Structure 1
């Protein structure tokens, strides 16, 4: 029997610049409503300010809209980028506490150091960005918990005695989360300080020979090592470990590949071209690999890996990922545009909830003893698939062939 797992959705959000962004933000709220109905337990929204592709400069406002439209799903900032020069951490504490009140205690407090190079340049993030983030978290936690006016005297932030007027709805056990991108230190400190560890969607399964890459297997080892070091139960830490993956459900892996291929390649062209193109170093197995050459969409589908194909194939892929990593308690779907009609994304989520989630949530289906009593019933097992990459290359050129 598969160990229990919870599921969520993450939106950067990422919409192509020629689309109706006003409509897209309303559709994001609609997706949160659908996710709640389907049994997803959380929805995360990112923060981005530049590049004309990622459209949420203040995720708290998007989450406030979602909170008004939903009842039970938890809502998280994924993440608030704390080193940006406009992010006064006292005000962040004030905003998040108020948002937690509006959502009746359904907020996950997610923090990060930023990722988009243009964002980081515009908001003056220097080499001390990580240290600034850690101190900002201290400020936020101090004022979320302070019952009376309190002073703070740090390296980057100093406040005379002050207090936030509206406290968070949740008490000291409110969930906090920390995203890691380019080093293991965020995961080390997440375990030490009691934050949920969050992984980015394009963290590869393994880092290969590239010292700049942080693979999921590296993270798993670091979570276990740090938990043992600080006296925490490694299984409990892994239960909070949130792995974000690309997910798309269709009738087969081949069909899913053909449906997402064009939009996914366009998206990763954008992503790996940001700044100086350095983000590819977080994915590649060798330090000199390039997008469209050694790293192609086909390579990423297998090496990140993507979760895609029929429901049976998706179940098998999640199980295989768990075999490689050991237990992790939370899987979050990275929501995209990718030029696919909105109704197809809804269908993918519906099939995932109907046919994939129950394999990891026994409480959502009959007891096994009764399933075994149904005449002719047997759990469907994924069939061997043809080589999707051979099919893709025979029909269309890869990015490398276009050069």
Structure 2
């Protein structure tokens, strides 16, 4: 089984290439706004939309006109990708399962004062390749790239974007997943909270580094400085760029932390059980803390990494109770946010709130997987006569065949 992944690299374009990249980003935004306006006009006229094939035909018909030379100077495959993205946005807006808003016009540079446009090029006929420390982008040329890691496979698409004062490219590649593990020796539940980022049922704890809090003093200083500047002046723009770069640093720190945590727990466990958290709703009443804790990001990264390693990732139901359940007898307790530890009313066991929740998540996830027929619990031969037994599972549901496997 193959999985499409993105690999991000830093670009170092020349001044001439940088001007061209800005133009292409603005062209991509212009095509989006033009096609969206046409769709809105068409819907008001006869209640229909233009989809990919129709929008591609419109772009082809406009190229011969002198007023649309800016489309002709743009990469045709990249223009088609804009049409595909708009088609996806329109379909998601009317899909009951996605709950997304109707697409909007992208704001121009004059209003936003930030060059954050992007465009996506497609590798047709090997037109995008990396040679001698540079990546070839259609109609741009060979742009120097910092290749900090080797490519996993052939390049499919490249998205170029200017973020936080630096040029970046996101390369999509197909990666082969490892064969599914037949014998799974460890199952661990993970509780994600605001105090410790991740608490595992096996005793693993990852404290929340709170990168936003670390940079809060510097951020407040720059924001006060921005308030004193005259809006629109050169100093105002410079201060705003410094704030943007600081937010970029915080974002990269969070991403690096999430990658390290997800990689560690994926390497150390065969079955990962998480909660299905409603992060968007949690951000409404505690936005900065939830964002600084990278709750949703850790689960997303852990999910694709377990699939690559041939392991199992599972999420229990969103409304399954885990907090306040005794890990020894299963007694339910009502706890406030201040209660980090509690004593069970039934068995009088003193335990931590988060560790108890992680163990409850592991038990619930284990029952879900067994009920669904995904895994079957077995005892390894070496531990059949041992007093202490470790939970060992075997994969019981395959894509092709379902032969019984003997655990060794």
Same fold judged by TM-score > 0.5? no
Alignment TM-score, normalising by the size of structure 1: 0.24
Q: Which has the larger radius of gyration?
A: 2
Alignment TM-score, normalising by the size of structure 2: 0.24
Higher strand share: 2
